[in-house]
Amino acid sequence: MIALISAVIFCFLTSALAQQANCSTEGQFTAPAGSYVFSWSLQSNGMYVDCNVSVNTADNTWVAVGFSEDRFMPDTDVIIGANDGTDEFVEDRWNGQSRVAGPSLDPMQNIMDTSSMRDGNRLTISFTRPLVSPDTSGRDENLDVCRNVLWAFGGTTTFVNGDVTALGGHSNRGVFPGQLCLCTIASTTATTATPTMTPTATTVTRSATVIPSATPEETPETTSSAASVANVAVLTFIFIFIATIF
Ligand SMILES: *[C@@H]1O[C@H](CO)[C@@H](O)[C@H](O)[C@H]1NC(C)=O
Ligand SMILES: *[C@@H]1O[C@H](CO)[C@@H](O)[C@H](O)[C@H]1NC(C)=O
């Protein structure tokens, strides 16, 4: 019994540590199709991530990136956009369990600083999103834990009077082999459960959390060995505590 409880606790602690030890503050995933590139850069406040998505695709087609708990399209948080040289859009959408009609518009748009660019065949969309979304409707996937990243592009985009009215199915899609694991500070995420989208609030919180997230990438070994020692200490304590009870 004690061994079982200890094993469960040990697995929990080591998996939490493993995720944090291999996290990134910036990077990119690429797919050969359309020379698709998804790049990300965590803001120094540790609360927001800046993203670019680029692909070679025809003027009247869209590009999208999805964040998912599994490697499948249903229940995937989607950021999608297009720019045909005249009209453009970048939107927060959600692929539900039934995705016959494609990703539906999320009633709460949890992306900011959106932009799009068309350079010949190359389409790029940019956006910033909070790691922990204030949207609690289940239409966003938080990025404070590792997520699978899905890529797609090539569906037609129909604009009417500047508004996107219809999106066709993708011509290409896939899932990147590695997961997106952003470096988070446990205390930061605990105090930012409902980040606001106002610039003022962002600035305030940024200054409050800039120091602990300073150089997570440069000291992974120190951090993880310190964390290992702490974990072993906690584990030993719990073990002795349980042994005392029995
Ligand atoms: C760490 O992340 C890199 C880049 O995503 C990946 O190639 C590598 O396999 C990961 N290592 C572990 C142990 O998960
Ligand atoms: C996105 O693209 C812009 C313009 O090229 C660049 O300044 C920025 O660093 C890029 N950000 C990421 C996360 O790739």
Ligand minimally distant from the alpha carbon of residue 124: 2
| Burial (0-12, 13-18, 19+ Cβ within 10 Å), 32 | exposed
Task: Give the CA-trace dihedral at 94, 95, 98, 101, to 10 degrees.
Answer: 90
Atom of ligand 2 nearest to the CA of 124: 2
Q: Look at ligand 1, atom 9, and give the residue with the nearest C-alpha.
A: 178
**3-class SS of residue 34:** helix
Between the CA of 137 and the centroid of ligand 1 the distance, in Å, is 31
Residues 175, 159: Cα–Cα separation, whole Å: 28
Q: Look at ligand 1, atom 6, and give the residue with the nearest C-alpha.
A: 178
Residue 102 has pLDDT above 90, yes or no: no
Residue 40 has pLDDT above 50, yes or no: yes
The gap from C-alpha 45 to its chain's centroid, in whole angstroms, comes to 15
Residues facing residue 141 across a β-bridge = none
Regarding the beta carbon of 52 and ligand 2, being less than 6 Å apart is answered yes
**Nearest Cα to Cα of residue 60 among 90, 37, 83, 35:** 83
Average per-residue pLDDT for the chain: 78
Q: State how far the alpha carbon of 26 is from the alpha carbons of 110, 183, 216, in Å.
A: 20, 9, 11
Task: Check: CB of residue 64 under 8 Å from CB of residue 57.
Answer: no
Question: Which CATH architecture group holds 24-185+201-223?
Answer: Sandwich (2.60)
Regarding the beta carbon of 19 and ligand 1, being less than 6 Å apart is answered no
Mutate to test the pocket of ligand 1, among 19, 20, 22 (most ligand atoms within 8 A of CB): 22
Between the CA of 23 and the centroid of ligand 1 the distance, in Å, is 8
Mind listing the pLDDT tens digit for each residue in 127-137?
999 999 999 88
Residue bearing the bigger pLDDT, 76 or 6 = 76
Region of 197 on the Ramachandran plot (φ > 0 left; ψ -120 to 50 alpha; else beta)? alpha
Residue 47 has pLDDT above 60, yes or no: yes
Between the CA of 22 and the centroid of ligand 1 the distance, in Å, is 6
Regarding the beta carbon of 126 and ligand 2, being less than 6 Å apart is answered yes
Mind listing the pLDDT tens digit for each residue in 182-204?
998 653 444 443 443 433 333 33
- Confidence (pLDDT) at 105: 93
Task: Check: CB of residue 48 under 8 Å from CB of residue 26.
Answer: no
Atom of ligand 2 nearest to the CA of 26: 13
